[in-house]
């Protein structure tokens, strides 16, 4: 009688153990499905190319990004969505780098503009930068440092291909006067989204009345 009871207890313990193992495995599988392992630095962006314009963060000057696609669509600060291109923000130097909150003024000291190309239109893309306006006054900031107007300003443009990831272009050019426009890159994309040719032949994109 005791032997039969012992066998029953062992079987019951085995059953509980198997159930516990099964529940643990189900929990692990569910956790992995809910929280997939992310690679460090991976950012999912629904775009084919990202073009970034940047200039010194302490500059109060306004630099603008212009991009023309193969269909002749131009994206810039007054037309942020055109064709399959989108400009996320018109950075005005320091003019729109502060937000007033209940906790005080929050500053974001970074001069950058980002443009995304969301799909593949085969042909030539032209990437320009334009020195829209110059801060012409001197003053002392809260740290007591004196800000003086820039006689020239370095501007950097970076073009990144996302699928698969590759840096197509990155370079810095020096602008010497307000109103100046420079062509940084002209690149050709085929139907598969691959960059086939590049050059830097100048082509103005700033239209009269937009500067």
pLDDT tens per residue across span 71-122: 999 999 999 999 999 999 887 655 445 454 555 445 556 899 999 999 999 9
Tokens of 18: 């198997």
pTM, whole model, 2 decimals?
A: 0.71
Map out the domains of the chain as residue ranges. Answer: 1-38, 49-199
CA–CA distance, 124 with 69 (Å, rounded to integer): 6
Residue 149 DSSP class: -
Tokens of 118: 């969301």
CA–CA distance, 100 with 153 (Å, rounded to integer): 29
Closest CA to 77 of 68, 93, 65, 94: 65
For the segment 148-170, the average pLDDT, to the nearest whole number, is 94
CA–CA distance, 96 with 48 (Å, rounded to integer): 28
For the segment 140-158, the average pLDDT, to the nearest whole number, is 77
Phi, psi of 187, deg, nearest 5: -130, 150
Give, in order, the Cα–Cα distances in Å from 75 to each of 79, 81, 86, 88, 186.
Answer: 5, 6, 7, 11, 15
Closest CA to 152 of 166, 172, 169, 168: 172
Mean pLDDT check: name the lowest of 55-64, 121-130, 156-165, 182-191.
Answer: 55-64
Residues 188, 68 contacting (CB under 8 angstroms): no
- Predicted confidence at residue 89, as pLDDT, reads 86
Residues 51, 67 contacting (CB under 8 angstroms): yes
Residues 193, 48 contacting (CB under 8 angstroms): yes
Residue length of the chain: 211
pLDDT tens per residue across span 173-211: 999 999 999 999 999 999 999 999 999 999 999 987 665
Residues 182, 202 contacting (CB under 8 angstroms): yes
- Predicted confidence at residue 23, as pLDDT, reads 72
pLDDT tens per residue across span 26-57: 766 666 666 544 444 455 468 999 999 999 98
- Predicted confidence at residue 144, as pLDDT, reads 61
């Amino acid at each position: 009688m005791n032997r039969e009871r012992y066998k029953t207890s062992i079987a019951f313990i085995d059953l509980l153990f198997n159930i516990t193992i099964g529940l643990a495995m189900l929990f692990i599988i569910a956790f992995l499905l809910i929280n997939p392992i992310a690679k460090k630095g991976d950012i999912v962006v629904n775009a084919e190319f990202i073009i970034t314009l940047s200039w010194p963060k302490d500059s109060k000057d306004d630099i603008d990004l212009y991009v023309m696609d193969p269909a002749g669509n131009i994206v810039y600060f007054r037309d942020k969505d055109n064709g399959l291109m989108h400009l996320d923000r018109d950075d005005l130097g320091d003019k729109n780098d502060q937000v007033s909150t209940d906790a005080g003024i929050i500053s974001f000291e970074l001069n950058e503009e980002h443009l995304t190309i969301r799909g593949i239109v085969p042909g030539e893309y032209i990437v320009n930068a334009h020195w829209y306006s110059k801060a012409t006054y001197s003053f002392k900031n809260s740290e007591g440092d004196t800000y003086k107007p820039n006689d020239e300003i370095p501007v950097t443009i970076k073009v990144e291909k996302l699928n698969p990831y590759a840096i197509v272009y990155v370079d810095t050019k020096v602008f010497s006067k307000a109103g100046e426009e420079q062509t940084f890159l002209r690149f050709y994309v085929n139907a598969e989204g691959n960059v086939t040719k590049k050059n830097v032949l100048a082509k103005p994109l700033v239209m009269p009345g937009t500067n």
